[in-house]
Amino acid sequence: MYYKNNPIGVFDSGIGGLTVANAIRKALPNETLIYFGDTAHMPYGDKSAEAIKYYSLKIAKFLQLMGCKAIVIACNTASSLAYHDVKDFLGDGLPIMNVIDPVVSHIAQQGGYKSIGVIGTKATIKSGVYQSKLALALPHLTVKAMATPLLAPMVEEGFFENNISKTIINTYLSSPKLKNIEAIVLACTHYPLIQKEISQFYNGKVDILNTAHIVALNVKQQLLEKNLLSDAKTGKDQFFVSDKTTSFENSTRLFFGNKINLQQKNIWANNA
Ligand code: DGL
């Protein structure tokens, strides 16, 4: 039994999921959030499927034990590789949400695109989850998927809006693999932090899909359907990391203000 005034659990390998948490907070101001950033294991994008599943299961269990009424896997890599495992493992009616299905539905509803780009981590692109879900929803859509592995670690280190980030972003986006696209999916939750630079590169010629916002609206809809929307904010948002880093602290403050309390938590020991 999950109570509607309990918190929503949100997790990612690092700061990327904060873009989703922030969008949820804006869409659902009555909700309390518990965030877990697995900074000790970031980047997930280069890890094996087994490792990503193991980390995701441990974090989801921790969030469940913290009393969360729903869990949002605010990471495309974990959503690609661990969503079904987390769902099966926690089962018992706890809603588990990923960041891919809402984006695929959004694109399918829009309908009009003929060719779309998808950029994400190596693990996300290699999993083929976006490619197959988009092909199923829109058989005539051409999907041009490309791994951009330097981007998430770059953002995590606080490298954006400078010459280095601009060069890396422009080099990736100039790839022939992304030629003639009408829209691009930022299939990594770190990428909204470099959305401005991506927009500058495309200069209005390609639609950039704001995935964090799409996911937040879907969380709202799912909680509404399950009668789990909170009527009042009951607690303070909590932020946990597996390893405290300055950039995580800075980004959390940037999104959630100076008063946040960042706690380091070891959830890997057997009985933790
Ligand atoms: N933010 C993540 C994603 O959406 C993961 C980045 C990483 O840890 O490699 O894929």
How far apart are alpha carbons 272 and 266 in whole angstroms?
A: 7
Across residues 178-195, what is the average pLDDT? 96
The radius of gyration of the chain's CA atoms, rounded to the nearest angstrom, is: 18
Alpha carbons within 13 angstroms on the beta-carbon side of residue 48 total 3
Burial grade of 204 (CB within 10 A; 0-12, 13-18, 19 or more): exposed
CA torsion, points 38, 39, 42, 47, in degrees to nearest 10? -40
Contact 56, 76 (CB under 8 A): no
Please choose from 39, 75, 80, 214 the residue to mutate so as to test ligand 1's pocket, defined by most ligand atoms within 8 A of CB: 75
Please choose from 10, 11, 13 the residue to mutate so as to test ligand 1's pocket, defined by most ligand atoms within 8 A of CB: 13
Confidence of residue 157 (pLDDT cuts 50, 70, 90): confident
**Cα 50 to averaged position of ligand 1 atoms, centre (Å):** 16
- Give the residue numbers marked as catalytic: 75, 188
Name the residue type at position 110: Q
pLDDT tens track for 48-102:
999 999 999 999 999 999 999 999 999 999 999 999 999 999 877 899 999 999 9
Indicate whether this model's pTM tops 0.85: yes
Across residues 109-119, what is the average pLDDT? 93
pLDDT tens track for 228-261:
999 988 889 999 999 998 888 888 888 887 778 8
How far apart are alpha carbons 199 and 204 in whole angstroms?
A: 7
**Domain made up of 101-211: CATH architecture:** 3-Layer(aba) Sandwich (3.40)
What is the per-residue pLDDT for 1?
67
Enumerate the CATH 3.40.50.1860 domain ranges in the chain, comma separated: 8-98+213-264, 101-211
- Highest CATH level, class, for 8-98+213-264: alpha beta
